[in-house]
Structure 1
Amino acid sequence: MTRHSGPPVPADVGVGGHPPSPPGNRVLVAALAITQTIGYGALYYCFAVFLTPIAADLTTSVTAVTGAYTASVLASAVLAVPIGRWLDRRGGRALMTGGSLLGTLLLVSLSRVDELWQLYVVQIGIGVASAASLYEAAFAVIIAWHRPRHRSAALLALTVVAGFASTIFLPLAGWLADQHGWRTALLILAAVHAVTVPLHAVVVRRPPGISRDPGRQHGDSGAHALRAALTDRGFWLLAAGFTAHTAAISAYTVLLIAALIGWGHPPAFAAAIAGLLGVLSVTGRLVTTGLQRRYRTTTITAVVFAVQAAAALLLPILGDTTGGAIVAVVAFGFGFGVATIAKPVILAERYDTRRYATLAGVLVVPMTLVKAGSPLGAAVLRTATGSYTPVLVAVAVCCGVAAVALAASSRPALSATGDTSADAPVTGPTD
């Protein structure tokens, strides 16, 4: 007996969509762009700068300190679904404000750790703060406050600005650590991060459709929409695709510089080439958003992932030459940030946005787990084979799986009754 899944649930079914975007939405997007840039810079990227001095001060290994970061990532994965439910029921103001405040306090605490166990406790707390205040929460707020035709532009603006977090905060953290030591540097970064608290408290508002009584929020229709999405084959194809792509990106990011050096390139060249990934990610997001006016987001994303698969296979073949390395890395880097903007757009196009944050949380759990584990897997494979080629082949396979899964998810599914009414493009309501 052939099993058919029901058709995707169009965004905002039964609630008439969101009201026209008020002028204040530009302020909302601008404020979130600032808070995400600061949040990612202070809570996420700066840890790499302080890794070695923290290990030296605590008289422990870099590996042990890195484990604290892994614990932080895993903590955010555990909370992804509960936080998604909170966002769907109550909106983002209290959650993001509390997460920002917690993150600020924990940066201060991090500057005072003297034992390895204290580092782990603080980093787990930072994982909690990140889950409550960074991208997934911000995306949920953006989706709730924008009608379909405005969402892509709002998400693009947010991610383009926040995409420069590493460009700003890595050199800033390095300079602060050189001038004042890592502990004082963390206190200064905590003061900078404190700016996000009032921004979230003042600018993030209760979105349309969110009741002031969470117990009555959404009712049976919202629960039905959630069940319909979770029984849709396409949803799980999206989960498989984005998870495979996250594994590829995480492994590629960790091994790229070492691989280029191993093939005979100077360290400065390897670092410069790796630095292109951030700029290319912004370019990829801009192009993807422009193409969304003519093509399905799933189709665009699948093509980008396929290009990345080819680029990963080309790198061990061409990577020992300067021109070949640049071409292969640029081709891969073009899709570096596409998944970040594609995932919220696809979910909002395909499913009822009243349950957007919960569904996004379900996707985030496996993505976060592979983000934490794939660099270790890549290192083990490299050690076992003595070559970066098998690792890059694995990266290409993951990108290929992601491309196939995204392409398959865009195909309309038949209902149990054989209804083919889903053959039309799946979009949310128009203005």
Structure 2
Amino acid sequence: MSGRGPSDRALIWGIATTQLIGWGTLYVPFPLLVAPMEAELGWSRVLLNAALTCGLLASGVAAVPVGRWLDRHGARGMMSLGAVAAALLLLAWSLVHDPAVFIGIWVLLGIAQAACLWNPAMAVVVALARDPTRSITAITFITGLTGTVFLPLTEALIAAMGWRGALQALAAMQIGAAALTFAMLRGAPKPEASRQAGAAVPLARRMRDAAFLGLALCFAAHAFIGVGLAAHLIPLLRERGWPEATVLLLAAAHGPAQVAARALLYAAGRRVTMRSVGVFATLLLPVAMLALATGPASLALTILFVGAFAVADGLLTIVRAAGTAEILGREGYGAITGALSAVAVLPRTVAPLVIALVWEGAGGYGPVPWILAAVGAASAAGFLLAARRAPVTSG
């Protein structure tokens, strides 16, 4: 690469801020918006979650071409355009009255998210940071607070402005993130070296490797759990009859628990590998889901679930970025992570809808935690397979 680009400190703060706003405006508010949209528009919960499903599908389909573009051309233009498009689409969502238009908005939102959220952001860090693993961990300290910040903020905006006004306020925040993205990546070097390296081992060959397949299974299963709970955790907890303040506190506690786990990882430094961290995190996933399943009336077991899931989720966010580079190498990183996202597109897209259908068919969320426990076990099995395999190398 030519030129230096932003310093690690500037990269950490810039990426962390834009990702916190991006996830906080595009994903976190959805479960809080379901009830007021149902009340005003008369749409079913299944329809609303189907729109989210279409957006996740579009995001997964767009991941590979986005990754290839990043490897060849860099991130500034695509990430900036994606962030602006996301803001405009939030504004369009605030004006929606027709279900077909709502679904179309979410398809376009999915494409915008693929261009400006986690995968391209981590490709930037891997390409530009002097110490990518340390930078990624530092970034997640801040992004781990996304729910803690945006759940109460969105709730307050809805109470003060209605769901349409809340979306317009979130769109304004996302415009700020777009401006910061453009300014942060100004002068970033073009990825000539990354382009040449990425061509050394064809993507199709990497996708046939056992390590890739194991990571794909791990991240796909984790995505099913994460996306499904993001859409349904609040109504699931509400169904258990606890006060609204308790429900929101339990949901918001996810962020601080993530940050605590990442702080321990940051302190451990080079004494641990991403392989060992991934094994621990994936084994914790089914433990968390079993706590949720076995204690529907137990606040203590629910708190255990919140803590265990947050720790696993927080660590796996780092493993997905830094662990992929450790296990599969840094060559063609954008295309590889795009392919991993594409493989996960089906579980990501069906998770909210499947859980909504289970809820509808069972008359409640009772079976859902048991399903998620089985999915968590599959995630652990996939990572154990990948961790035992050597990466594909060029030459």
TM-score by length of 1: 0.80
1:193 and 2:170 correspond: no
After TM superposition, list the pairs within 5 Å mapping 1:252-271 onto structure 2: 252=229, 256=233, 265-266=242-243, 268-271=245-248
> CA, structure 1 residues 22+104, in 2 after alignment: closer, same or farther (shift >3 Å)?
closer
Counterpart in 2 of 1:7? none
| Identical counterparts, % of pairs | 31
Matches of 1:253 and 1:43 in 2, distance apart? 12
Match of 2:141 among 155, 160, 174: 160
Secondary structure in 2 matching 1:337 = helix
1:100 and 2:83 correspond: yes
Match of 2:316 among 336, 339, 347: 339
Counterpart in 1 of 2:152? 171
RMSD: 3.1
Structure 2 counterpart of 1:104, which letter? A
> CA, structure 1 residues 154+20, in 2 after alignment: closer, same or farther (shift >3 Å)?
farther
Aligned residues: 393
Extract unaligned runs of 5+ from structure 2: none
Secondary structure in 2 matching 1:392 = helix
Secondary structure in 1 matching 2:141 = helix
**Contact 2:223–2:347, Cα closer than 8 Å, also in 1:** yes
- How far the C-alpha of 1:133 sits from its partner, in A, is 0.8
1:325 and 2:308 correspond: no
Matches of 1:255 and 1:52 in 2, distance apart? 12
- How far the C-alpha of 1:88 sits from its partner, in A, is 0.6
Structure 2 counterpart of 1:112, which letter? L
Counterpart in 1 of 2:330? 353
Matches of 1:409 and 1:263 in 2, distance apart? 38
Matches of 1:196 and 1:64 in 2, distance apart? 30
- How far the C-alpha of 1:42 sits from its partner, in A, is 1.6
**Contact 1:277–1:330, Cα closer than 8 Å, also in 2:** yes
**Contact 1:107–1:187, Cα closer than 8 Å, also in 2:** yes
Matches of 1:180 and 1:390 in 2, distance apart? 36
- How far the C-alpha of 1:207 sits from its partner, in A, is 5.0
- How far the C-alpha of 1:316 sits from its partner, in A, is 3.4
**Contact 2:24–2:147, Cα closer than 8 Å, also in 1:** yes
Secondary structure in 2 matching 1:110 = helix
> CA, structure 1 residues 116+307, in 2 after alignment: closer, same or farther (shift >3 Å)?
closer
1:82 and 2:59 correspond: no
Structure exhibiting the larger radius of gyration computed from Cα positions: 1
Structure 2 counterpart of 1:343, which letter? R
- How far the C-alpha of 1:264 sits from its partner, in A, is 6.1
Extract unaligned runs of 5+ from structure 1: 1-17, 414-421
1:356-377 CA distances to partner (integer Å, 9 max, x unpaired)?
0110011112324312312433
1:238-258 CA distances to partner (integer Å, 9 max, x unpaired)?
111111222233445556556
> CA, structure 1 residues 273+91, in 2 after alignment: closer, same or farther (shift >3 Å)?
same
> CA, structure 1 residues 19+337, in 2 after alignment: closer, same or farther (shift >3 Å)?
farther
1:161-181 CA distances to partner (integer Å, 9 max, x unpaired)?
122222222322332232233
Secondary structure in 1 matching 2:313 = coil
Counterpart in 1 of 2:185? 204
> CA, structure 1 residues 191+352, in 2 after alignment: closer, same or farther (shift >3 Å)?
same
> CA, structure 1 residues 104+254, in 2 after alignment: closer, same or farther (shift >3 Å)?
closer
Matches of 1:64 and 1:27 in 2, distance apart? 41
Match of 1:293 among 258, 267, 270: 270
Matches of 1:63 and 1:184 in 2, distance apart? 24
Structure 1 counterpart of 2:297, which letter? D
> CA, structure 1 residues 52+251, in 2 after alignment: closer, same or farther (shift >3 Å)?
closer
TM-score by length of 2: 0.87
- How far the C-alpha of 1:99 sits from its partner, in A, is 0.7
- How far the C-alpha of 1:292 sits from its partner, in A, is 5.3
- How far the C-alpha of 1:101 sits from its partner, in A, is 1.4
**Contact 1:284–1:336, Cα closer than 8 Å, also in 2:** no
